[in-house]
Amino acid sequence: MKLLLAAAVLALPLAGGAVSVVGDGIPAALEGKTGDAARGRAIAASRSQGLCLLCHSGPVPEERFQGNLAPDLAGAGARWSAAQLRLRLVNPQHVNPDSLMPPYYRTDGLVRVGNNWQGRPLLDAQQIEDVIAWLLTLKQ
Ligand code: HEC
């Protein structure tokens, strides 16, 4: 069992340095940041930052136009742990190589990156932790 677990620990070269993937999650908060759910909700709903509602629908009633390309975010905090959500935001392709979801905290191995975004993640460590804090409040 110990061996199996050790084999599952991988280091992803990411924006703020290496991040350890354990199983199907990233247990440690990015750069040790503490997330704020209210800020996370605003980031997720924003058309210039998170853009989550381009693909997802979610419990954000004031946003009229929501996506139907991806699972509803309602209940995400009941389906996933913080570690699992972190990996799915940092690098969805780690879980599903064919995922359409953008990797929000990865800068390597990307194609067609706009000039302004070269070497920069879509969200920084604090913003990722904020979004996770919000998702964890979505228990149903
Ligand atoms: C370009 C479309 C797209 C965008 C933008 C996007 N996602 Fe996703 N997301 C997906 C798809 C498609 C899936 C389904 C699993 C897969 O294919 O990876 C998914 C899966 C997920 C899941 C797991 C699904 C579940 O069962 O709950 C979560 C949580 C999630 N996304 C959160 C977010 C958040 C938060 C944002 C914004 C910061 C975001 N996504 C932006 C397409 C997107």
Q: What is the pLDDT of residues 24-38, one digit of tens each?
A: 999 999 999 999 999
Integer Cα distance of 121 and 55 in angstroms: 19
Predicted TM-score (pTM) of this structure = 0.90
Say if CB 131 and CB 40 are below 8 A apart: yes
Is residue 51 lining ligand 1, measured as CB closer than 6 Å?
Answer: yes
CATH: 3.40.640.10, 1.10.760.10, 3.30.565.10, 3.30.460.10. Which one for 2-137?
A: 1.10.760.10
Is residue 58 lining ligand 1, measured as CB closer than 6 Å?
Answer: no
pLDDT digits (tens, 9 = 90+) for 38-74: 999 999 999 888 999 999 999 999 998 999 999 999 9
Q: What is the identity of the amino acid at 57?
A: S
Query: Which pLDDT band holds residue 19 (cuts at 50, 70, 90)?
Result: confident
Structure token pair of residue 45: 């709903």
C-alpha 31 – ligand 1 centre gap (Å):
22
C-alpha 101 – ligand 1 centre gap (Å):
5
**Does 2 score more than 60 pLDDT?**
no
- pLDDT, position 66: 94
- pLDDT, position 61: 93
Mutational test site, ligand 1, from 41, 48, 56, max ligand atoms within 8 Å of CB: 56
Is residue 100 lining ligand 1, measured as CB closer than 6 Å?
Answer: yes
Domain residues of the chain, as ranges? 2-137
pLDDT digits (tens, 9 = 90+) for 114-133: 777 677 788 999 999 999 99
E-strand ranges in the chain read 10-14, 17-21
